[in-house]
Structure 1
Amino acid sequence: MADCRITRITKKNRQSTHDHITHAGNPPTWYWKREDIIASINNKTNTFYVLENGNRSDVGVVNPTDGRSPFLRTYADNVWNDNLLALPEHTP
């Protein structure tokens, strides 16, 4: 199992602060679709994290009960937060 740092994201709408992430990774080493990262977390084949000001936030999967698709979110100090959305955009 690899512990993978995410440094860049891609969203459908770059201007949105709440839009779903479509891809994430650490280019040029790796850059995956959201669904592949979710599958890897759910299958426990890899862990993912972001660093902000030297502080680690683990990436987890949120499974909404209202019919929306699962999505990625960071988790630190027992709180879900949006550190992923603060990462720089990557244009593949």
Structure 2
Amino acid sequence: MTCINKQPRNNAHEGITHLGNSTGKWTRQSVINWIEAGTHTFYTLVNGKRADVGVVQGENGKHVRTYADGYYNDNLLALPECP
């Protein structure tokens, strides 16, 4: 993943509506479905460090977060807006 869309932009992970990269942009729900089905994997690569995208159950339902070095982190929230 190289970009996200968030509504509102300053909200927590649940606010991510779309995720994208150089080949396309998808809804958060599509990304969740593909990860859970095992049909696709996604990751971020920042400063040479890879963080895999995983599905997390939150207060308001499932959302996506990055996972690296045994911990979930906020790498997705640092990505720029998708066009």
Larger Rg: 1
| 1:35 match | 29
What's the Cα RMSD here? 1.3
1:1-92 equivalent positions in 2, closer than 5 A:
6-14=1-9, 16=10, 18-19=12-13, 20-27=15-22, 29-64=23-58, 66=59, 68-91=60-83
Q: Is the 8 A contact 1:60 1:74 kept in 2?
A: yes
Alpha-carbon distance in structure 2 between the residues aligned to 1:86 and 1:58:
15
Aligned residues: 82
The two structures have a TM-score, normalised by structure 2, of 0.91
Residues 42-80 of structure 1: per-residue CA shift (max 9 Å, x gap): 00000000011110000000013x4x1100000000010
Alignment CA distance shift 1:76-1:33 (3 Å): same
SS of the residue aligned with 1:85? helix
- Unpaired segments of 5 or more residues in structure 1? 1-5
- Unpaired segments of 5 or more residues in structure 2? none
Q: Is the 8 A contact 1:50 1:84 kept in 2?
A: yes
Alpha-carbon distance in structure 2 between the residues aligned to 1:26 and 1:40:
15
Name the aligned partner's letter for residue 27 of structure 2. Answer: K
The two structures have a TM-score, normalised by structure 1, of 0.83
Alpha-carbon distance in structure 2 between the residues aligned to 1:89 and 1:17:
14
